[in-house]
């Protein structure tokens, strides 16, 4: 009997000591925790489909990525847990990765340094840049329990979208001139110069990064990881085609320059012609105006009677005689 009582007391003491030593925990400032009881996490009402992070999912994706909402333990403590409970801690600090990082293959993508992609011109390019991500506190179920290796899924998701964007990227058309002056006051269509895909990508890195941010907005609902920013810093072609690409760029710039010069010269001539027409029109109007005024005066004089016009002509002749130095009269035979 004493042996049984001693065993019970020893078990009770062991349980108390274990509960005290292992049952108290804290959560750091950059951490969040989830508590499970017999392997099941404490859940809240609803799923991630009720959260705004799932707005970017399609109807089909919403059927696959409907995760329970968990009670998240914030930073602080000390907290207490029972021996049959377990605490899962995750860091919510912002982390940075190379876009060529492959967590499952250290030798992939040139030892995780350069990511390769193919442009719409069938040109193989190397991409370098960084990816900032944070674990989503609003979908810790996916990060802790649902997805075995969340960062591997997110990187694969990001790389597949990036390669699709590179292969189908269309830059805004380059117009050499926007409008041209014409005599009727209208405009002509701008001259559009077809660009080279890798040049378009280099000139529009900001737009490409913004497109990636929009495309990856649903990663938090998929894998519990929110992509804060994609910073693609350089896009470089293979070394063996760099010289050929430089020659193409030079020819492209020369053609664009010549088109601009020709368009500017044509616009200048059109403007000069338009001004010449306006000047000649004003001259003609200046010559016609006195004649119109004289015709109006004669019309008024005629209304005063049949003798008004002969008197007017007589006065005009007298004025001319006063100004003339010689007068030649025709003699009637």
**Please, which pLDDT band fits residue 197 given cuts at 50, 70 and 90?**
low
Cβ atoms within 10 Å, residue 22:
13
**High-pLDDT (> 90) share of the chain, %:** 1
187 or 46: whose pLDDT is higher? 46
- pLDDT score of 179: 47
Res 178 pLDDT > 60? no
Q: What is the pLDDT of residues 78-112, one digit of tens each?
A: 888 888 888 999 998 998 988 888 888 888 888 88
Res 180 pLDDT > 50? no
Res 45 pLDDT > 80? yes
Domain architecture of the chain: domains with CATH: 2-169+204-237 (3.30.479.30)
Q: What is the pLDDT of residues 243-264, one digit of tens each?
A: 666 666 676 677 777 888 888 8
- pLDDT score of 248: 65
Please give the Cα distance from 25 to 41 (Å, whole number). Answer: 17
Distances (CA, A) of 26 to 37, 135, 139, 321: 18, 19, 21, 123
Res 9 pLDDT > 80? no
**Please, which pLDDT band fits residue 181 given cuts at 50, 70 and 90?**
very low
Q: Quickly tell me which residue has 């062991």 as its tokens.
A: 14
The pair of three-digit structure tokens given for residue 221, joined into one six-digit string: 């609902």
Least reliable range by pLDDT among 60-69, 115-124, 131-140, 246-255? 246-255
CA neighbor of 100 nearest in space, from 154, 149, 159: 159
141 or 14: whose pLDDT is higher? 141
Chain centroid offset of residue 266 CA? 35
Q: What is the pLDDT of residues 17-40, one digit of tens each?
A: 666 667 788 888 889 999 999 889
* HSE-up (13 A, CA, CB side) for residue 232: 30
- pLDDT score of 176: 46
* C-alpha torsion angle, residues 238, 244, 246, 249 (rounded to 10): -120
- pLDDT score of 188: 47
The pair of three-digit structure tokens given for residue 81, joined into one six-digit string: 């847990």
Cβ atoms within 10 Å, residue 249:
13
- pLDDT score of 105: 85
What integer best gives the mean pLDDT of the chain? 79
Q: What is the pLDDT of residues 266-323, one digit of tens each?
A: 888 888 888 888 888 888 888 888 878 777 877 777 777 777 777 777 777 777 777 7
- pLDDT score of 242: 61
Query: What integer is the mean pLDDT of 153-158?
Result: 88
- The beta-carbon contacts of 35-38 under 8 Å, at least 24 apart in sequence, are 35/71, 35/73, 35/81, 35/85, 35/86, 35/87, 35/88, 36/85, 36/86, 36/87, 36/88, 37/82, 37/84, 37/85, 38/84
Please give the Cα distance from 254 to 91 (Å, whole number). Answer: 54
Q: Are the beta carbons of 85 and 35 closer than 8 angstroms? A: yes
**Please, which pLDDT band fits residue 192 given cuts at 50, 70 and 90?**
very low
Res 117 pLDDT > 70? yes
- pLDDT score of 191: 45
CA gyration radius, the chain: 44
3-state helix/strand/coil string of the chain: CHHHHHHHHHHHHHHHHHHHHHHEEEECCCEEEEEEECCEECEEEEEHHHCHHHCCCCHHHHHHCCCEEECCECCEEEEECCCCEEEEEEECCCEEEECCCCCCCCCHHHHHCCEEEECCCCCEEEEEEEEEEEECHHHHHHHHHHCCCHHHHHHHHHHHHHHHHHHCCCCCCEECCCCCCCCCCCCCCCCEECCCHHHHHHHCHHHHHHHHHHHCCCHHHHHCEEEEEEEEEEEECCHHHHHHHHHHHHHHHHHHHHHHHHHHHHHHHHHHHHHHHHHHHHHHHHHHHHHHHHHHHHHHHHCCCCCHHHHHHHHHHHHHHHHCCCCCCCCCC
Give the sign of the dihedral formed by CA 310, CA 316, CA 319, CA 320: negative
């Amino acid at each position: 009997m004493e042996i049984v009582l001693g065993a019970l007391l020893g078990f009770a003491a062991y349980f108390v000591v274990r509960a005290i030593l292992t049952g108290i925990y804290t959560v750091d400032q950059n951490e969040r925790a989830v508590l499970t009881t017999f392997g099941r996490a404490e859940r809240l009402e609803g799923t991630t489909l009720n959260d705004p992070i799932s707005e970017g999912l399609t109807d089909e994706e919403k059927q696959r990525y409907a995760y329970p909402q968990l009670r998240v333990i914030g930073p602080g403590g000390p907290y207490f847990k029972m021996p049959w409970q377990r605490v899962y801690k995750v860091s919510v600090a912002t982390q940075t990765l190379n876009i060529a990082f492959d967590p499952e293959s250290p030798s992939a993508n040139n030892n995780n340094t350069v990511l390769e992609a193919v442009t719409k011109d069938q040109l193989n390019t190397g991409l370098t840049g960084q990816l900032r991500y944070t674990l989503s506190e609003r979908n810790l179920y996916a990060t802790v329990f649902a997805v075995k290796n969340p960062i591997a899924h997110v990187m694969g998701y990001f790389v597949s979208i990036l390669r699709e964007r590179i292969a189908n990227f269309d830059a805004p058309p380059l117009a050499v001139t926007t409008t041209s002056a014409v005599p009727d006051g209208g405009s002509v269509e701008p001259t559009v110069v077809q660009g080279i895909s890798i040049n378009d990508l280099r000139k529009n890195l900001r737009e490409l990064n913004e497109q990636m941010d929009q495309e990856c907005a649903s990663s938090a609902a998929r894998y519990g990881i929110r992509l804060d920013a994609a910073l693609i810093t350089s896009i470089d072609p293979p070394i063996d085609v760099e010289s050929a690409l430089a020659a193409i760029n030079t020819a492209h710039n020369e053609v664009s320059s010549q088109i601009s010069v020709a368009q500017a010269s044509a616009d200048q001539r059109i403007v000069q012609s338009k001004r010449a027409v306006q000047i000649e029109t004003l001259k003609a109007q200046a010559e016609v105006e006195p004649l119109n005024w004289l015709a109006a005066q004669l019309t008024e004089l005629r209304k005063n009677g049949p003798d008004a016009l002969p008197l007017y002509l007589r006065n005009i002749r007298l004025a001319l005689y006063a100004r003339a130095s010689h007068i030649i009269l025709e003699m009637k035979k």
